[in-house]
Amino acid sequence: MSAGTTRRAGGPGIGAAAEGGGSRLFRELARMVVALADVEGLRSFALPYPGLAQRALDRTVMHCLDVGETPPRSLPELWEWCRTRPACDPLFAVSPALVAPGTTLVHPVGRMPTRSCLEVASHGPDGGVAAHARALLGDLEARCGTGERYRQCRRFLARHPVVHQRDRFGLDWSKAVWSRVKELYGPLPEYLLVDGVFLRCPSCELPALPRDRAVPVLGPSGTGADLWCEGEECPRDAPPELIREPDQTWILRRSLRTFLALPYRTEEAARNALDHAGIGHEALPGSLSAHRLKDTGPESVDIQVYDRLQPALLAAHLAEGAPPAHRTLVVVPAALAGRDGYREAFTGSLPAPLRGRSVLTTPVDLVSDLERGPKEEKDDA
């Protein structure tokens, strides 16, 4: 969203010209929210504020003066703005072609960064939070030495965003894998505990929190709208798992939870679909989740797997990559692809050279979309 960003031909809302000061502020606040959420004792917001937060507060005050709004008086008030003022608020006026209008940076129930916040914080030339996840995986790959070791470690991270001491006695525990990945985990932070208990969503297996950290959720009533989990989109038909020994529990870094663990189920479903159809594939190094298909004739075909709530930001991310030398099937969960306007927003935000070469699909449709070939896809776009 930087005004100085140069891109290849951008879709509506993605080119630098479409960005206003409010939109840039929205991204700066997204990065502030992500950074502050990792600081212990967040709720106190004691002075002096961390430098990044003070700069974001100063920028917000200046922007408010520019647009004739009363500025926030403190960091807690600014944090509350991030929870209650969505992307479409006149203060930000982020183009609806870039971020869905109702998007807030802090979740109204969980009071933690939203998934969209992490996606906004990953938008831009440096790749932000998602690039951080990619860099961590790149280091791990280098440490592993062999592709097979790296695959084992990556699978472990994706399947175990939270590790409990008792997991060490489980079937898929490997001492060698743990010794390579343990530095990507940390102790459970205080802000993820409710009365000393850690809540884990039974669906995405990521942290969960009840509204306002209220205790009643620890009973069977802990289902429904009053519960937040980091996956955000999970069904609420089962209560969260309670882990009562938080000091014996480790949690994966946030960037990897969101950009590796969350899409992993979709990635496994996509790979299973390819295997079932007898289509060979190999992982591409340096990516979060990209695979090149084998035996595709003179044309190279890649699949890339994502679980992103903001389709226009996903399109912008693809547009930032290397020139589209070959076809890419962009696999997302079926629940997202079927959402009103998701597909249209994705395709409409792709730069013209990528349309027809980058096609949105789901694990179920992957093989049939592959067989349809690029020409028909172009007709669809």
Q: Which residues bind Zn ion (CB under 5 A)?
A: 201, 203-204, 229, 231, 234
Rounded to the nearest whole angstrom, what is the least distance from the CB of residue 212 to Zn ion in the complex? 19
Minimal distance, residue 207 CB to Zn ion, in Å: 9
Beta bridge partners of 305: 331
Q: How many CB atoms lie within 10 A of CB 112?
A: 22
* Residue 3 or 238 having the CB closest to Zn ion: 238
Q: Which residue has the tokens 């203060």?
A: 91
Nearer CB in complex with Zn ion: 261/312: 261
- CB of 146: closest distance to Zn ion in angstroms? 33
For Cα atoms 134, 137, 143, give the angle at the middle one, nearest 5 degrees.
145
Is 199 or 301 the residue whose CB approaches Zn ion more closely?
199
CA distance 317 to 14: 10
Tokens 């960037």 correspond to what residue? 255
Shortest CB 122 distance to Zn ion, Å: 20
Nearer to Zn ion, 163 or 201 (CB): 201
Is the Cβ–Cβ distance between 326 and 309 less than 8 Å? no
Identity of the residue, 203 or 248, whose beta carbon is nearer to Zn ion in the bound complex: 203
Nearest CA to 326 out of 288, 285, 297 is that of: 297
Q: How far is the CB of 229 from Zn ion (least distance, A)?
A: 3
Pick the closer one to Zn ion by CB: 229 or 331: 229
Q: Is the torsion defined by CA of 244, 39, 109, 231 positive or negative? A: negative
Least distance (Å) from Zn ion to the CB of residue 114? Answer: 13
Residue 198 bridge partners (DSSP): 193, 243
The rounded distance, in Å, linking the Cα atoms of 76 and 71 is 13
For residue 209, what are the β-bridge partners? 228
Q: How far is the CB of 262 from Zn ion (least distance, A)?
A: 9
CB of 74 to Zn ion, least distance (A): 32
Q: Is-contact 13 97, C-beta < 8 A?
A: yes
Minimum distance between the CB of residue 252 and Zn ion, rounded to whole angstroms? Answer: 15
Q: Considering the complex, what minimum distance in angstroms separates the CB of residue 227 from Zn ion?
A: 9
Q: Give 261 or 360: the residue with its C-beta nearer to Zn ion.
A: 261
Integer CA distances (angstroms), 40 to 44, 51, 190, 303, 371, in order:
9, 16, 7, 38, 50
**Sign for the pseudo-dihedral over CA of 88, 92, 94, 100:** negative
β-bridge mates for residue 327, sequence order:
301
* Interatomic CA distance for residues 144 and 159, integer angstroms: 18
Q: Which is nearer to Zn ion, 56 or 204 (CB)?
A: 204
How far is 1 from 108, CA to CA, in rounded Å? 25
Which is closer to Zn ion, CB of 136 or CB of 199? 199
Instruction: Choose between 115 and 355: whose C-beta lies nearer to Zn ion.
Output: 115
- Cα(327)–Cα(337) distance, integer angstroms: 19
Distance CA 358, CA 324 (A): 8
Q: What is the largest CA-CA distance in the chain?
A: 62
